[in-house]
Structure 1
Amino acid sequence: MTSLYSNQSVTLYNSLSGEKELFKPILEGNVGMYVCGPTVYSNVHLGNVRTFMSFDMIFRYLKHLGYKVRYVRNITDAGHLTDDADEGEDKISKKARLEQIEPMEVVQQYTIDFHNILQKFNCLPPSIEPTATGHIIEQIEIIKEIIDNGYAYSENGSVYFDVLKFNENHNYGKLSGRLLEDMITNTRELTAQSEKKNPQDFALWKKAEQQHIMRWPSPWGDGFPGWHLECTAMSTKYLGEKFDIHGGGMDLKFPHHECEIAQSEASNGQDPVNYWLHANMLTLNGKKMSKSTGNNIFPAEIFSGESPFLTKGYSPSVARFFIMQAHYRSVLDFSNDALLASEKGFNRLMEAINLLSALPTSEKSSIDINSWIQSCYDAMNDDFNSPILIAQLFEAAKYIYQIKDGKASITQTDLEKFQSSIHAFVFDILGLEDLNIAAESNSDKLNGAIELLIQLRKEARSNKDFATSDQIRDQLLELGIQLKDGKEGTTFTFS
């Protein structure tokens, strides 16, 4: 690592050990990070967005420190059954049946929605975004290895992982802290489990019934892969059999991530991940978010304000700021009041930042800028503690106003360092956007678009196409933009 910030030491909370640990990558200067992506059968919900936004912030910070990060986040486009179980209908196939379209039309529609929403929240794209259906061959090969090693069995065209056999030499449950004995005791006998030797066994490959559209040939017959297997195949293909960080929502810790560990250990003999990171859930007005109860909100509703839970719309950057004000491992309650408070805080911070370039300088600094900068790094080095970082940024806002009012002083050198550091933490690491700059940019784009229409109208008039000329003028007027023809040409005003 050659970054100016490479002397920083990061500690992170490892779900596997239940403790904060000093981060040491497998390959110095490089980080391999895998995050479980969405199952694209519906619009991405806000809880998922929080997870992806949290890991976007982590991705940004590691890059800022000078690490070369390979960030892999998958798209699940097959194999994820209803209720996250081994029985039932494929979520994407079910949506396709209800909408009377092809499953891959569902995948395309909601993958585009997912990308659009994350782009609005200013999330960086991952280094690689593999799909489950693009890695069927790799999944079949892993199943063969697990069978050869004695930890899986085929039954009636399906293949199941033998949890009891695996647990003889390994520890199934070490990530979630569950004991297999307790799982066995608490298991309810479910229907359609007769193929399994034990209820705890999970599917690596499922036989496709006649009506199942999404199917692939395999040594065990036509079928589709198990949901857990997909992430094992895609993470190890692009990051190796052992990699640094695996992230996802807290709800994936069991069984999904637990099964990923078991699959890797059963196929190649080693735990695949050094550090397991889990983002916590969002609640809405103190209650769990749920589509079935109506206690739910989608990101697009936040932007438009068209929700019974909101009094107005909010910018994506304000919503992102709200999410960054809580630690990624803590439960965060979403409410209109909380968003209003975040909007005020966000505007206050941006107003202070916009004063930076006009601050007066002196021969001496009365503020220890180096100490403040390190306090920001200390916050992020402590398991990516964004709320503590934001508290330090508001401390910086206080300094800015003190300097502006002549109650504190700063040298030109310190001011430049102060300015670059604030911009790095606010825009590069937290991923916030200055709404004033965005508004100016949009204004420039609008003006350019109107000038283009004026030019097209001028050409239409020159060609005696008065119908098109009048249409441009009248439709712009309907949008509140009035054209005025004069000796110097055509100008416009907003009415």
Structure 2
Amino acid sequence: MKPQELYIYNSLSKSKEKFTPVHEGAIGMYVCGPTVYSNVHLGNCRTFLSFDLVFRYLKHLGYKVRYVRNITDAGHLENDGESGDDPILKKARLEQLEPMEVVQKYTVDFHTTMAKFNALPPSIEPTATGHIIEQIHIVEKIIKEGFAYEKNGSVYFDVVKFNETNEYGKLSGRKLEDMIANTRELSAQTDKKNPQDFALWKKAEPQHIMRWPSPWSEGFPGWHLECTAMSTKYLGNNFDIHGGGMDLKFPHHECEIAQAEACNHTSPVNYWMHANMLTLNGKKMSKSTGNYILPNEMFTGENDVLSKAFSPAVTKFFMFQAHYRSILDFSSDALEASEKGFNKLMDAHRTMSELSTSEKSSLDIESWRKSCYEAMNDDFNSPILIANLFEAVRFVNSIKEEKETISAKDLELLKQTMNDFLFEVLGLQNNDSETSQDGEKLAAAVELLIQLRNQARANKDFAMSDKIRDELSTKGIQLNDGKDGTTFQIMN
């Protein structure tokens, strides 16, 4: 693969920047993983699939990528890990399980779901509970640097002190003065010097099961601390890419930057990337509001939101038809349109092996291939890439109908490029065997209906005959009556 000029939208600078890795030929990427107290929903999946696309493309370009994605299993508190209930403990009480049984159950669900989407596993998948010692060491270093203080067994990051020599809020664009002016004092924050200070270590209440010994108290780490500990341990104090959902920009990622700079005296990340949200019925998809749909509910069709079931490949394809930084709304109509588009791409891929070649090409395959790379090099622009892949569908159909010609060399380049981007980069699955089996089942069912229709016509029950034909037509199956009997075709 020739060197590519890749541009990434950096949330820190709020602009596209030419990508230059810290170490030539190698990339370190960290993505905030799931908090495993419930089934992963599609909004979470979109974020992880967006970074699976980034991971795949960087590998395709020839980079050696170390992709770290954590599992949050430490049982932090709600409300940014400061107060409220611990969702893992809450679920443990509800299901009458040990907290780590809850963690195991939903970690397995997460892995199973991502495998259905054909997402690559990360290079390293560390857990928060597996890195308590590292988190305690970071707290000790931040205290030593003068940017944290202990109160009643808890340790808090001193945001005001940090802001005297650094800039708290530079990722989200917030000014500390405005945050202080707009914050009312909460009873749960009485141990803090300032409402903006955030917990590095929390003393555990008697009912809190997940707890560890520390120099300050038996307790548990603050929510933001784990990602700083794990990202720097496996990628170094300064690494290339940190990703996550848009909702993590503040306070989570803002606090990560502050912790790392206070501890290591360097900016931790060169390129901050944020995937946008999925909406359902025009509202953010969220577990807390109940406005969400689970992946398996989509795959089985067992939901009250969509008109039918959609496969993991179609669902993934639908997500990639929007740029990762764009809001994407789920609807049956949009998914059905994606399904038709997906099927056209797969049909064209299968048809390529049947095409005839000529001595010369009337198509500029090299230029088309270049446009595919240009799309992905422009901040991983998957919708433009997919538009280019549909252009290849037009090529295939034109060659098949003998309206265009293609040389053997160009046909091989077309096949290779389609394979690279459909399966290696987008990570779509071409389940030919599964599709074939489904097609055989569908054909058998339609043949049975044709027999019932022929019987109705023989009995002069034309109302039933017309009903079978019309009902099939509404489902996209057209019956054709000819002298040799009735055949059917599936309309796109």
Q: CA deviation at 1:191?
A: 1.5
Give the aligned residue type for 1:129: E
Aligned to 1:94: 90
The CA distance in 1 between the partners of 2:104 and 2:46, in whole Å, is 22
Counting only pairs closer than 5 Å after superposition, residues 122-271 of structure 1 correspond to structure 2 as 122-271=118-267
8 Å contact 1:78–1:90 — kept in the other structure?
Answer: no
Match of 1:349 among 320, 345, 349: 345
1:307-359 alpha-carbon deviations (Å, 9 max, x no partner):
11111111100000000000000000011111111101111111111101111
Provide the residue aligned with 2:300 in structure 1: 304
SS of alignment partner, residue 129 of structure 1: coil
Aligned: 1:368 with 2:364: yes
- The structural deviation recorded for 1:439 is 3.9
1:435 aligns with 2:439: no
Q: Counterpart of 1:426 in 2: which secondary structure?
A: helix
The residue aligned with 2:394 is 398
Report the residue type matching 2:306 in the other structure.
L
**How large is the Cα RMSD of the aligned pairs?**
1.4
Among 315, 320, 331, the residue aligned to 1:324: 320
The residue identity in structure 2 corresponding to 1:11 is Y
Q: Report the Cα distance in structure 1 between the residues aligned to 2:321 and 2:38, rounded to whole angstroms.
A: 27
From 10, 13, 16, give the equivalent of 2:9.
13
| Aligned CA distance change for structure 1 residues 288 and 376 (closer, same or farther; 3 Å) | same
Pick from 270, 277, 288: which aligns with 2:273? 277
TM-score (norm 1): 0.87
| Of 71-80 and 84-93, the range deviating more from structure 2 | 84-93
Contact 2:139 2:200 in 1 (8 A): yes
Give the 4+ runs in structure 1 shifted more than 2 A: 287-295, 435-443
Deviation at 1:95, TM superposition (A): 1.0
Distance apart, 1:438 and its partner CA? 4.0
Partner deviation per Cα, 1:409-440 (whole Å, 9 max, x = no partner): 11111111110110000110011111324445
Q: Is the 8 A contact 2:43 2:286 kept in 1?
A: no
Amino acid at match of 1:227: W
Match for 2:58: what amino acid?
L
1:71-128 deviation per Cα after TM superposition (whole angstroms, max 9, x unaligned): 0000000142123241122211111122221000000000000000000011000000
Higher deviation after alignment, 191-200 or 381-390: 191-200
The equivalent of 1:33 in structure 2 is: 29
The 1:18–1:417 alpha-carbon spacing in structure 2 relative to 1, beyond 3 Å, is same
Residue in 1 that maps onto 2:480: none
Q: What residue is the counterpart of 2:334 in the other structure? A: 338
Cα deviations across residues 369-409 of structure 1 (Å, max 9, x unaligned)? 11000000000000000000000000000000001111111
1:113 paired residue number: 109
Q: Normalised by the size of structure 2, how large is the TM-score?
A: 0.88
Instruction: In structure 2, give the amino acid aligned to 1:398.
Output: R
Residues 160-195 of structure 1 deviation map (CA, whole Å, 9 limit, x = unaligned): 000000000000000000000000011022112110
Amino acid corresponding to residue 146 of structure 2 in structure 1? G
SS in 1 for 2:120: coil
Amino acid at match of 2:78: T
Which deviates more, 202-211 or 431-440?
Answer: 431-440
Which residue number corresponds to residue 49 of structure 2?
53
Higher mean displacement: 223-232 or 278-287: 278-287
Q: Whole-Å Cα distance in 2 between the matches of residues 241 and 128 of structure 1?
A: 17
Change (3 A) 1:441 1:413: farther
Q: Indicate conservation of the 8 Å contact 2:162/2:168, yes or no.
A: yes
Q: Distance in 1 between matches of 2:361 and 2:322?
A: 33
Provide the rounded CA distance (Å) in 2 between the counterparts of 1:64 and 1:311: 36
Partner of 1:460: none
Conserved? CA contact 1:79–1:225, under 8 Å: no
Specify the code of the residue in structure 2 equivalent to 1:135: H
Correspondent of 2:380 among 384, 392, 416: 384
Report the alpha carbon displacement of residue 441 of structure 1 after superposing the two structures with TM: 8.8
CA contact (8 A) 2:277 2:285 kept: no
Rate the CA distance shift 1:293–1:384 in 2: closer, same or farther, 3 A: same
Measured in 2, the distance between the counterparts of 1:292 and 1:13 equals 30
Q: Which runs of 5+ in 2 are unaligned?
A: 440-492
1:29 and 1:7 map into 2 onto residues whose CA distance is: 10
Residue 209 of structure 1 aligns to which amino acid in structure 2?
E
| 1:117/1:299 contact within 8 Å kept | yes
DSSP 3-state at the match of 2:59 = helix
Q: Residues of 2 paired with 1:392 and 1:57: CA distance?
A: 17
Bigger mean CA offset, 197-206 vs 294-303: 294-303
CA distance in 2, matches of 1:438, 1:67: 33
How much has 1:294 moved relative to structure 2? 4.2
